[in-house]
Chains A and B, each alone.
Chain A
Amino acid sequence: MESYLWIIPFSPLIGAAINGALAILYSHKEKGPREEIISFIGCAAPLASFVIALMIFIRMIGMDEADRILEQTLFPWIWSGALNIEVAFFVDALSMVMVLVVTCVGTIIHFYSIGYMAKDRGFARYFSYLNLFMFAMLTLVMGKNLPLLFVGWEGVGLCSYLLIGFWYSDIYKAAAGKKAFIVNRIGDFAFLLGIFVVYVATLEHGAGTLDFPALSGLVAAHPEAFRGVATAAGILLFIGACGKSAQIPLYVWLPDAMAGPTPVSALIHAATMVTAGVYMIARLSFLYALSPLAMGVVATVGALTALYAATIGICQRDIKKVLAYSTISQLGYMFMAVGVGAFSAGIFHLMTHAFFKACLFLGAGSVIHALRGEQDMFNMGGLSKYMKLTALTFLIASFAIAGVPPLAGFFSKDEILWSTFTSSLSPGWLPMVLWVVTFIAAGITAFYVFRAVFLTFYGKKRLTAEAEAHVHESPSVMTVPLILLAIGSITAGFLGVPQVLGGSNAFHHFLSPAVGAAEHVTHAVQGAGDSVQAIGAAAHAAKEAAAGGVQLSSYTGEVLSEAGGGSHGGSHGLEILLMVLSVLIGIAGILVAQAMYIRNPTLPESISRRARGLYNLVYGKYFVDEAYRETLVKPGYFLSEKVFFKVIDVWIIDGIVNGFGVMARGFGTVLRLLQTGVVRTYALFILLGILYLIYRMVG
C-alpha cells in the first residue's frame, strides 16, 4: 500500500497536465474542448486520489497505533554536502486527516464546478488550475520534509493567484490576484527564514536535516538546546502562516480573493489552502511545544483575529465577503487551539470547518448562479421559496458554524474553547482573556451568519428585475455536492464527542500518535513557569515524551483525556457549564439576527444611523486597507519610482551599462586613426614589428 502513496498527489497533476494541454490546443479556436471530456478528466483525477486515500486510511486503521506511519521515497532532490533532501511522501495520522479532508471536499467541489462553470470559455483552464491546486495541496500535507512542504506551500499560492485572477480581463479581479500573491510573498519570506533557522540549528546539533521524523527525534534529544530555536523559528514560520492562513496583520488579501469563482473560494479560500498554516504548526508541534512564547503569540494572534474578523463580518453587504471574514475568524479559532497546545482540537475544527464553510460557500455560489452574478445580500431576500435545497443546506451549515448542538461546529468549537480555558499559558490571566474574546466572537459569528441567512433566504424579496426573471434552483450537479457537505456538517462532529458528553473522542485518539506527545510537552513546558528547576523538569518531561514518541503516544491519549478532565484545573461540571454558555451565546446571536432582520427590518438602519461613526468604521473594515496603502504601499511606490527607478536604475545600473559602451567607443575613436585601409601602411607596420622582434632576439 505504501507504494501507492505517490498516486494521491500525482493523479491530479496528470489531470492538470491533460486539461492544460487541451486548454492550450484550443486557445485559438472558436469553441473550447467538449465540457464532458474536460469535466470527466478533471473530476476523475481527484476522485482517484480520494479512493486511494480512503484505502490507505482503512489500511491504517487496521495497523497497530504505534506503526501508523506510511512513507514512500521517490527520488533524491537536492544532494549537496550535508544537505540531503529527498522527494518523499510521509503519511501519519495528521497527514491522513488532511489528505482525506482535501481529497473529499476537493472532489465534491470539483463536481460542483461542472455546474457552476458550465459554458465558461475557460472551462478547461479552470479545471487544469483546480487539479494543479490539488497536487500542490497534497504535496504540502504529504511532504516528508520542510522544503517539500514549502514547494506545496508555494504551489497552492500560485494556484490561488491563478484562480483569483481567473477572469483576468476584469482589471479588479486581476489586481485581487496580485494582492493575494504579494501579501503571501511577505509571509513566505519569513517562512523561508524559519526553515533556514531550523536547518542551521540542526547542523549545530548533529546532522543537518529537514525531514520531519528526523527533526522530531533531534529536537527530542536536545530539548534545552532547541528552546531558543523553537521561539525564533516558530515565530518566523508563524508569520508565513499569517500570510497563507490570513491572520492579523496579513489577512487583507483573503476578502479580495473572493473575486475568483465561488467554488474556488470554497475549496482554496475556505476549506483547504488557508488551513495550511494550522497544519504546519501541528506538523511542527514538537518544535512549537518547546516555546511558550511562540505558542503564546500564535494563540493571541488567533484569538484577536477571531474577534476582529467576526466584527467586520457584521456589516458586509456582499454575501461572499461575509463568508470570507467568517473564514478568517474561524482560522483564528484554529490558531488559538494550536497555540494553547490543543493540536488535535485545532485540526478537528479544521476538518469540521472544511465541511460547513465549503457548504456555505457553495450555497452562496448557488444563489449567485441563480441570480446571474448578484452578490449584494440587500438585493436578495425570500429566496428559500425558489431554492429549497440550497436554503436548507445553507441553514444546516449556518447552524453548524453557530455552534448549535449536535452539529459539527458545536463539538469542535467547544473543544477549542475548553482547551483554551484550561490551558497553562502564561501569564495566568491569558487563557481566561483568550476564552472571553473567542466566546464573544462565537456570539458574533452566530449573528452575522444568520444575518446572511435571513437577508438571503427569508424576509421580503428585494430582487432586481433581471435577477427575478432568472431565479431558479441550481441543477443537481450543484445541489448534490451541497447535500453531501451538509451531511458532513451534521455528522463530522460525532467523530470527536468529548468524554464529558459520554463520547470517546475518537478523533483526538486517532491523532494522538502524531501530536499527542507534543500536547503533553506543551503542558509540561508551559506549566513549568519561570522557576529554573521546573523548566529543567519540563524539559526532561519533553525529552521523555518525545523520545518515547510513539510508544508513549499509545497511552498518551488516555493520559491526556484523563488530564483534560482533572489535572488542567477544570472539572466536568465547569466543562458542561462553559458548553451551555457557548451554546446560549450562539442561540442569542441567532435570535438577535432574527429580531433585527425578520421581525423588525427597520431596526438595523436606525441602529446604524444612531451609531454612524462606529458603523462607518466597521463597514469600512476599520480602514486597514487604506492604512496599509498610506503607510506601506505608497512609500513602496515612492521608493520604487523615486529611488530605485530614478536613481539606482537610471543612474547606476544604466550608467554602468552605458559606460561600457561609451568606453568602447572612445577606444575605438583613438584606434581608428591607425586604420588607413592602405595595404602598404600595414606592410610597414609588419616590417617595423619584425625589425623590433629581430632587435629583441639579437640584442
Chain B
Amino acid sequence: MITLDHYLYLSAILFFIGVFGVLFRRNLIVILMSIELMLNAVNLSFIAFSRYTASMDGHVFAFFVMAVAAAEAGIGLAILVMLFRNRRTVQADDLTLMRD
C-alpha cells in the first residue's frame, strides 16, 4: 500500500537532489534543471496532499507552479544564451560580477 508518507519522502528526496544540484554543480544549465527538479518535488507533494484531503486546491497550486516553472525556464535559458554570447562560458564560478 502506498501511503501519503511515501509520496512525501519521494518529494523530499527529489527536492534535496535539486538543492544539492544547485549547490554543487557548476554548469548553469544543470543548475536550472535542478531548480526545475525542486519545483516538481514541491508539485508532487501538492498533488499528494490534494489527493489525501480530497480537495482541488493542491491542483490549482500545482498548475500555478508549472506555469511559473515554464516562465522561469524560458527566461533563465534566454539569460543563459545571452551570457554565453557575451562571456563564452556557462560556468557559475566564472561569473563573479556581483563582487567586482
Contact = CB atoms under 8 A, between A and B. Distances in A.
A680 B98 contact: no
Interface stretch (A46-54, A623-631, A636-644, A671-679): A671-679
Contacts of B31: 679-680
B23 A677 contact: no
B100 to A, nearest CB: 7
B98 A677 contact: yes
Contacts of B97: 677
A680 B22 contact: yes
Interface string B82-100: 0000000000110111111
Nearest to A690: B19
Nearest to B99: A677
A611 interface: no
B52 interface: no
A296 B23 CA distance: 92
Contact of A677 (B19, B24, B100): B100
A250 B20 CA distance: 85
A493 to B, nearest CB: 90
A676 B97 CA distance: 9
A465 interface: no
Nearest to A675: B99
A676 B95 contact: no
A229 B93 CA distance: 81
A684 interface: yes
A471 B23 CA distance: 100
A686 to B, nearest CB: 10
A672 to B, nearest CB: 8
A677 B26 CA distance: 14
A679 B19 CA distance: 13
A676 B100 CA distance: 9
Interface string B22-38: 11101000010000000
A612 B96 CA distance: 89
Interface in A555-601: none
B23 A676 contact: no
Contacts of B100: 677
Contact of A678 (B19, B22, B24, B92): B92
A687 interface: yes
Nearest to B98: A677
A683 B98 contact: no
Contacts of A683: 22-23
A146 B100 CA distance: 64
Contacts of A677: 95-100
A210 to B, nearest CB: 64
Contacts of B22: 680, 683
Dominant secondary structure of chain A at its interface with chain B: helix
A42 B31 CA distance: 82
B29 to A, nearest CB: 14
Nearest to A679: B92
B24 A680 contact: yes
Contacts of B23: 680, 683-684, 687
Nearest to B16: A687
A677 B95 CA distance: 7
B31 to A, nearest CB: 8
A428 B100 CA distance: 90
Nearest to B93: A678
B22 to A, nearest CB: 5
A680 B99 contact: no
Contacts of B96: 676-678
Interface in B14-56: 19, 22-24, 26, 31
Contacts of B98: 675, 677
Contacts of A679: 31, 92, 95
A684 to B, nearest CB: 6
Interface string B57-100: 00000000000000000000000000000000000110111111
A192 B92 CA distance: 71
A687 B99 contact: no
B19 A687 contact: yes
Interface string A641-683: 0000000000000000000000000000000000111111001
A680 B93 contact: yes
A21 to B, nearest CB: 55
Contacts of B93: 678, 680
Interface string A83-108: 00000000000000000000000000
Contacts of A678: 92-93, 96
Among B24, B95, B98, residue most surrounded by chain A Cβ atoms (within 10 Å)? B98
A678 B99 CA distance: 8
A680 B22 CA distance: 7
Contacts of B95: 677, 679
A325 B22 CA distance: 92
Among A675, A676, A679, residue most surrounded by chain B Cβ atoms (within 10 Å)? A679
B19 to A, nearest CB: 6
Nearest to A676: B99
B99 to A, nearest CB: 3
Contacts of A676: 96, 99
Nearest to B24: A680
Among B24, B93, B95, B100, residue most surrounded by chain A Cβ atoms (within 10 Å)? B93
B87 to A, nearest CB: 14
A683 B31 CA distance: 11
A506 B37 CA distance: 109
Contacts of A675: 98-99
Nearest to A684: B23
Interface in A381-422: none
A680 to B, nearest CB: 6
A456 to B, nearest CB: 82
Interface of A: 675-680, 683-684, 687
17 contacts: A675-B98, A675-B99, A677-B96, A677-B97, A677-B98, A677-B100, A678-B92, A678-B93, A679-B31, A679-B92, A680-B22, A680-B23, A680-B26, A680-B31, A680-B93, A684-B23, A687-B19
Given A677-B99, A680-B22, 7 more contacts: A677-B97, A679-B31, A679-B92, A679-B95, A680-B24, A683-B22, A684-B23
| CB-based closest 9 A-B pairs | A677-B99, A677-B96, A677-B98, A679-B92, A675-B99, A683-B22, A678-B93, A680-B23, A684-B23
